[in-house]
Structure formats: C-alpha cells, structure tokens
Amino acid sequence: MTASLMAILEQQLAAAEQAVMASTGGAAWCQLQRDGRVTGGVKYDEGRLAALMAVRRRLRSADPAMWQQALAAELAQWQQALADVQAQPKPAMPWLAYRQGGVDALTALQEAAAGSIAH
C-alpha cells in the first residue's frame, strides 16, 4: 500500500466521520434508532464510514504490493451486498442507503487512488 493511498483513505475516513456527525447531530446510534430518527441519509453516511473502515483493516493486513486487489475485493463485497438488497421483493430503504454509501465510498477511493498513481 502506498503512502498516498493511506493519506487518501484517511482523508475520506475523516470526511465520512464528519458526515455521520452532521447527519446524526452527534446523537448516539441507539438513541436515534429508539426515537425512530434513522433516515436514509444517516444510513448512507454510516455505510460510507463502515466500508472505509473495513477496507482500512483489509489493507493493513494485506501484502502492500497487493493493495489494488484488496481494495477491489472489498468493493466487490459491498457491490454484491448492494445487489442482494436490491434483489429483494421489498428492499429496506435503510439497507439500500447503507450499502450504496459503502459502494460509493469505495468507488471514490479506488478512483482517487488510481488518479494519484497516474500523477
């Protein structure tokens, strides 16, 4: 894994954490759920954060030379999970938002990493 990829990942993680804080107003997840205030926006931001944290764990344990494959594998898992939710007769909107957030975050990370290599 390159230092620039890790820097990009950490920037995206910070942005996702800020988005979660903004969408929750700093309230605890359990309180939001108890109050029925979990929205697609909250779940989307949560999905972004969860996917970026998962790929960070995967990248830290992967062979540094194989970071592109590790990132692609994590993205593929999130894409499949999104497709599984979409295939349900009545997909739950919070799960759609969560999985879409993860796919979007990992896609953006992959594109940013590819851009940093090209330069």
CA angle 109–68–73, rounded 5-degree value? 85
Grade residue 4 by pLDDT with cuts at 50, 70 and 90: confident
Mutual angle of helices 40-61 and 93-118, in 10-degree steps:
50
Count of positions (residues) in the chain: 119
Q: Dig out the tokens for 110 from the structure.
A: 């992959």
Does residue 78 have a pLDDT over 60? yes
Please state the rounded mean pLDDT for residues 71-88: 97
